[in-house]
Each structure stands twice: as structure tokens, then as C-alpha cells.
């Protein structure tokens, strides 16, 4: 019979029953490792990325810009919490292993979709935030996502964006089931089958908090849109943030009001407005772009396209401006174009590698969305 199991471990969160007398209390306030794992990471250094105890944060919202620098005591606590969380995950690793072994022993492993993920990350001193999670920065919103099972190629890494709203449609797809609702997310199974392709994704990221006794929200509130290149954030205070995540992965420089990024910011603000009220399929519409291959000819009883002079063109009907296209043949790079009209004469040598090569164009819009257009074409011999 089909079965579904959702297994949620407490680790690496804090909480749980109080420590019994005599137990090492160094993890008090943090995640509690199993007794057999206490001290396993006692000498593990605290990561110190470029945004750790961030120096100049004047370009960020007041809630970050006005934070005090972390003291030696703050850093010591962050290090302790980091080690305790890492130790607590060793028991999770063992638990996941038991689940996998039970599936293998029952003969169901190869017929079961296994998804390993989390709901959020934690801060350990980045942007002067010693602990917690309720912020828009990458340390809090990025989570692991591992999948294995039918339809998932072994050893494949997918670079495209995904979000927790994708999990339900992925599970339904794997089970050949239909839903009585229109999901905001998409099945990730096609992404695993085509790991090098971009799908024009943009993600809505929101944080809303309940009000305290004074009527003010308990945590930070924001709405943001994340594309392959950018993150645009509208905070409830009206403060705006814009980060180029390709060139600034640690979110050190807020590009809001930078004239060089004005067009990108305006496009992202428009996309955020659309995503904030979308429902179902309208939440994952692909940008209106297409590629055009040369006309076919008749040769030896077949319709085919000559390799010589094979010119691949890309046309854009999306609201955002097209800023660049990378061309490829069967995954092999075939050049790029950064100025309109976007076109490329593909190398004859690459086209002749197969009878029906796949010609691809990965197009990037000014808002950072990327979409891979692709066609299989028969090449004249």
C-alpha cells in the first residue's frame, strides 16, 4: 500500500525536555546533542564569512545599521551554539540512516521518493546578528534540499531556484496523483531531469509576525522577490534593499538607489507586486521569450537544417528587457551575445556531433530571471 511519512526532528532547534541533573549544560539555550555526541565538535571553529560582525552597515535598514558590534561574549555564545547545533545533527544523521535502511530492507527504497530539507537557517554572527532566523538574508532563508527516488538521476546537482511551495506538487507528481487545489509551486522532477537548464524562476519570500502588546510586530516583516541574480526586499518600514547575489553573495552592498541598477530595481519591484497577489499557475509563468532556428530544407528525403551558417536567434516579449544570451549545443558552450539583436552563428563542429543535436539559448532579463530555450534539430549531413 502507498504510504507517506513526514519526520520532523527537533534538532538543530533549541527546546525539548530540561537537562537532568549532572548533564553538561554548555548547550543550554541551544540545540541539545545526544549524550553520545557531546563534544564531537568541541574544537570546531565558528565560520567567519565576510559579513560576520559586518563593518559598515549604514546602507541597510535601521534594524541592522543600528545594531551594536558583537562583543567577545556574543561571539563566544555564537560559537557555542554553532557547535551544539552541529553535534545535535549527528543524531539526525543516524535517524535518517535508519529510515533509509528500513526502506532498503523492505524492498521499497527504489520505489520511494525521499526528500531531506529544512524550514530555515540560523544566524551565527552574520550582519552582527548573533542568533535567530527572522531576517531576509541568505543565512536564514536558504535551506538544504536533497532528493532521491524514481525520476531522480543519481549524483545530479540542480542549480536553479526552488522553494518550499514546490514540495507538495513534487510529491503529487511522483505519486501520479492529482490535487484539488492549484499549487503556487511546481514539481521539481523535470528540474532533476534537466539540471543544466534555467526555468525563468522568481521566488516570493515573505515574513509576517504577530503583534506584541504594544501593537508592534514581534519580528521583522518584509516581502521580497529572489531571482537567479538579484534579491529585492520591501520591508514593512518602507526601507528597500537590493542585492546582486552573483557578485555579492554575502549581501554586503545594498544597491537601492544606485543609478546603475535603477532599471533592474524597477523591474523587480514590478515583479514583487505581481507575485504578492498571484494564485496557482500565475505564480510560475515563464518569461515570454522564444528562440528561432533556421528554416529546414529537403535533402535525401528528409527535412533538415544545414550546419553551415546556422544562426540561432532569441526574441523577447517579456516586460523586462533582455540583457544577454548564452548559446550552447548539447550542453557545450557555443558563445554569447550581450547586445540586441541577440543571435549567434553556432559552430559547425558542435552541430555535427549528433544527427539531432539540442540547440539551447539561456536568456537573462534585466530583473535577473533566466530561461533556457531549447530545440532538437536534424542537421543535414
Q: Comparing 372 with 299, which gets the higher pLDDT? A: 372
The mean pLDDT of 262-276, rounded to a whole number, is 96
pLDDT tens digits for range 278-305: 998 888 889 999 999 999 998 888 899 9
How much is the average pLDDT of 62-78?
96
Is it the case that residue 218 has pLDDT exceeding 70? no
How many alpha carbons fall within 13 Å on the CB side of residue 251? 23
Burial class, 169, CB count within 10 angstroms (exposed 0-12 / middle 13-18 / buried 19+): buried
Q: What is the DSSP letter of 177?
A: -
> Does pLDDT of 227 surpass 90?
yes
Contact 253, 243 (CB under 8 A): yes
pLDDT at residue 26 tops 90: no
d(CA 327, CA 312): 8
- The pLDDT, as a whole number, for residue 300 is 81
Chain segment 81-138, per-residue pLDDT in tens: 999 999 999 999 999 999 999 999 999 999 999 999 999 999 999 999 999 888 999 9
Instruction: State the alpha helices, DSSP H only, in the chain.
Output: 62-65, 72-106, 138-141, 167-174, 189-193, 262-275, 348-351
Does residue 12 sit in helix, strand or coil?
A: coil
Confidence of residue 15 (pLDDT cuts 50, 70, 90): confident
Distance of CA 261 to the CA centre of its chain: 22
**Contact predicate 127/69, CB 8 Å:** no
pLDDT, position 211:
67
Domain 202-285 of CATH type 1.25.40.80? no
Q: How far apart are CA 208 and CA 274, in angstroms?
A: 18
- Calculate the average pLDDT of the chain: 93
What are the domain boundaries of the chain?
1-150, 202-285, 289-376
Q: What would you report as the CA-atom Rg of the chain, rounded to the nearest whole angstrom?
A: 25
Q: Are strands 343-345 and 311-316 parallel, antiparallel or unpaired?
A: antiparallel
- The confidence score (pLDDT) of residue 214 equals 64
pLDDT value, residue 180? 87
Q: How many C-beta atoms lie closer than 10 Å to residue 273's C-beta?
A: 13
In this model, does residue 216 exceed pLDDT 70? no
* Cα angle 179-181-183, degrees, rounded to a multiple of 5: 95
> In the predicted model, is pLDDT for residue 22 greater than 80?
no
pLDDT at 219: 66
| Per-residue model confidence (pLDDT) at position 302 | 85
Say if CB 294 and CB 266 are below 8 A apart. no
Q: Strand, helix or coil at 332? A: strand
Whole-number Å distance between alpha carbons of 270 and 277: 12
Identify the CATH assignment for 289-376 out of 3.30.420.40, 2.60.40.10, 2.40.40.20, 2.40.50.140: 2.60.40.10
DSSP for 88-103?
HHHHHHHHHHHHHHHH
- Mean pLDDT over 209-238 rounds to 84
pTM of whole model > 0.85? Answer: yes
153 pLDDT above the threshold of 70: yes
Amino acid at each position: 500500500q502507498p504510504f507517506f511519512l513526514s519526520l520532523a526532528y527537533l534538532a538543530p532547534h533549541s527546546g525539548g525536555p530540561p537537562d537532568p541533573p549532572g548533564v553538561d549544560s554548555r548547550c543550554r539555550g541551544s540545540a541539545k546533542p545526544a549524550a553520545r555526541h557531546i563534544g564531537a565538535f568541541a574544537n570546531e571553529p565558528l565560520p567567519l564569512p565576510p559579513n560576520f560582525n559586518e563593518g559598515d552597515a549604514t546602507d541597510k535598514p535601521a534594524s541592522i545599521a543600528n545594531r551594536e558590534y558583537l562583543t567577545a561574549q556574543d561571539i563566544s555564545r555564537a560559537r557555542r551554539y554553532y557547535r551544539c547545533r552541529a553535534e545535535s545533527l549527528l543524531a539526525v544523521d543516524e535517524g535518517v540512516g535508519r529510515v533509509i535502511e528500513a526502506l532498503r530492507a523492505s524492498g521499497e527504497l527504489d520505489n520511494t521518493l525521499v526528500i531531506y530539507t529544512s524550514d530555515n537557517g540560523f544566524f551565527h554572527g552574520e550582519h552582527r546578528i548573533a542568533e535567530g532566523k527572522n531576517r531576509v538574508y541568505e543565512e536564514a532563508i536558504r535551506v538544504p534540499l536533497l532528493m532521491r527516488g524514481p525520476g531522480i538521476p543519481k549524483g545530479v546537482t540542480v542549480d536553479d531556484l526552488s522553494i518550499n511551495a514546490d514540495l507538495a506538487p513534487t510529491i503529487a507528481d511522483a505519486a501520479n496523483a492529482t490535487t484539488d487545489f492549484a499549487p503556487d509551486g511546481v514539481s521539481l522532477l523535470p528540474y532533476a531531469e534537466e539540471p543544466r537548464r534555467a526555468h525563468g524562476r522568481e521566488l516570493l519570500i515573505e515574513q509576517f509576525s504577530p503583534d506584541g502588546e504594544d501593537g508592534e510586530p514581534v519580528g521583522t516583516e518584509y516581502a521580497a522577490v529572489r531571482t537567479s541574480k538579484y534579491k529585492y526586499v520591501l520591508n514593512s518600514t518602507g526601507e528597500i534593499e537590493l542585492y546582486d547575489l552573483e557578485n555579492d553573495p554575502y549581501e554586503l552592498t545594498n544597491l537601492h538607489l544606485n543609478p546603475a541598477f535603477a532599471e533592474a530595481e524597477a523591474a523587480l519591484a514590478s515583479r514583487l507586486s505581481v507575485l504578492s497577489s498571484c494564485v496557482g499557475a500565475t505564480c510560475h509563468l515563464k518569461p515570454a521569450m522564444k528562440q528561432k532556428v533556421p528554416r529546414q530544407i529537403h535533402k535525401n528525403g528528409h527535412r533538415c537544417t544545414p550546419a553551415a551558417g546556422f544562426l540561432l536567434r532569441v526574441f523577447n516579449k517579456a516586460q523586462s528587457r533582455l540583457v544577454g544570451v548564452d548559446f550552447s549545443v548539447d550542453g557545450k558552450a557555443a558563445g554569447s551575445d550581450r547586445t540586441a539583436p541577440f543571435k549567434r552563428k553556432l559552430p559547425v563542429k558542435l552541430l555535427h556531433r549528433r544527427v539531432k543535436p539540442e540547440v539551447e539559448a539561456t536568456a537573462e532579463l534585466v530583473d535577473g530571471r533566466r530561461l533556457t530555450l531549447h530545440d532538437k534539430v536534424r542537421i543535414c549531413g
